[in-house]
């Protein structure tokens, strides 16, 4: 499994111990780390200077809005009766679970207006 860049870290000047800041060498089209206190510069060993990892989580069933039963674009099934009211029809859709390494999961919502129970198998 290939992963993206990890924590890039903070670099310090070996001459004056101040923090090095990313700077572009526009003439040579290179990324440098430069000290703002002295004239020390070094080539960046990695072109990544910042990582912002965004994770989207579906809190299993609580974030599924019951209004999905009115969505005409969602598929419907009569093969999975509602475990709460035994209604035959349900809408379903796929979503990834909390952990990216897990498989996609089917979510069902009962189309009975008085029930709208949500479940997964």
Binding residues for Zn(2+): 13, 16, 35, 38, 82, 85, 110, 115
Residues annotated in a binding site: 13, 16, 35, 38, 82, 85, 110, 115
Task: Answer for the pair 108, 120: CB distance below 8 angstroms, yes or no.
Answer: yes
In this structure, what token pair is assigned to residue 76?
């419907």
Q: How many residues make up the chain in this entry?
A: 121
**Do strands 118-120 and 20-25 pair parallel, antiparallel, or not at all (unpaired)?**
unpaired
The answer for 79, left when phi > 0, alpha when psi is -120 to 50, beta otherwise, is alpha
Q: Supply angle C-alpha 62, 54, 58, rounded to 5.
A: 15
Pairwise CA distance, residues 24 & 51, whole Å: 18
């Amino acid at each position: 499994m290939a992963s993206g860049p990890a924590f890039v870290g903070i670099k310090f000047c070996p001459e004056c111990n101040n923090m090095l800041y990313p700077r572009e060498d526009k003439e040579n089209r290179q990324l440098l780390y430069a000290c703002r206190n002295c004239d020390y510069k070094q080539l960046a060993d990695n072109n990544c200077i910042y990582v912002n990892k965004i994770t989207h989580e579906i809190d299993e069933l609580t974030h599924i809005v019951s209004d999905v039963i009115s969505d005409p674009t969602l598929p419907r099934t009569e093969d999975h009766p509602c475990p709460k009211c035994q209604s035959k029809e349900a809408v379903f859709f796929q979503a990834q679970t909390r952990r990216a390494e897990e498989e996609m999961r089917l979510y069902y919502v009962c189309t009975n207006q008085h029930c709208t129970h949500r479940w997964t198998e």
